[in-house]
Amino acid sequence: MDIVTINWAKGAIDYETLKTSKQSYLKKTGFYAMLMGIYNPALGKYENTKLLYIGQAYKQTLGERILQPHNGYDCINNYIRKTPNAKLLTMVGVLAKTNISKVTQELFDDIECCLIYHNQPKCNEICKKSYSGRQLTIINTGDFSPLKPASDCKGS
């Protein structure tokens, strides 16, 4: 069984400020989650967050990949438009630890698919019904909510 740990950066980034964000993870390869949330000024945080999309960036930085067109973005925009006061937020995470000697595109694909399969984001289409990659355990650390703390995927 392969084991990976993803460390998610503290605080989701408002998608509108992504280009100017100083979040260091945006300059690295890794994983991202698109969320919808409504800001509560009394609490100083976003509430009612919903997981809309999970993606990955292997051959480019997270900052570059997130801003590119995606098949799921029409779905994401529909959710945002239907919910008054909703903001599109982005979480970013990097591979912090693994027992695998070589990090490859195939590994990133398996991690992404496993995250999608276990967390069921509303706008991803692939990997929602089944997982067919390697046997994999993903441990999420840092600020990973609303993702599950861990995902165990048994390949075919």
In tens digits, the chain (156 residues) has pLDDT values of 899 999 999 999 999 999 999 999 999 999 999 999 999 999 988 888 999 999 999 999 999 999 998 889 999 999 999 998 999 999 999 999 988 889 999 999 999 999 999 999 999 999 999 999 999 999 999 999 999 999 999 866
For residue 84, the model assigns a pLDDT of 84
For residue 156, the model assigns a pLDDT of 61
151-154 own/partner pairs: CB under 8 Å, 24+ apart: 151/114, 151/115, 151/117, 151/118, 151/119, 152/118, 153/110, 153/113, 153/114, 153/117, 153/118
Through-space distance between the first and last CA atoms of the chain, rounded to whole angstroms: 13
Angstrom distances, CA of residue 117 to CA of 47, 111, 144: 24, 10, 16
Check if the beta carbon of residue 141 is closer than 8 Å to that of residue 5.
yes
For residue 92, the model assigns a pLDDT of 98
Whole-structure pTM value: 0.94
Give the three-class secondary structure for 32.
strand
Number of structural domains in the chain: 1
Q: Which domain holds residue 26?
A: 2-153
Name the pairing type of β-strands 150-153 and 2-8.
unpaired
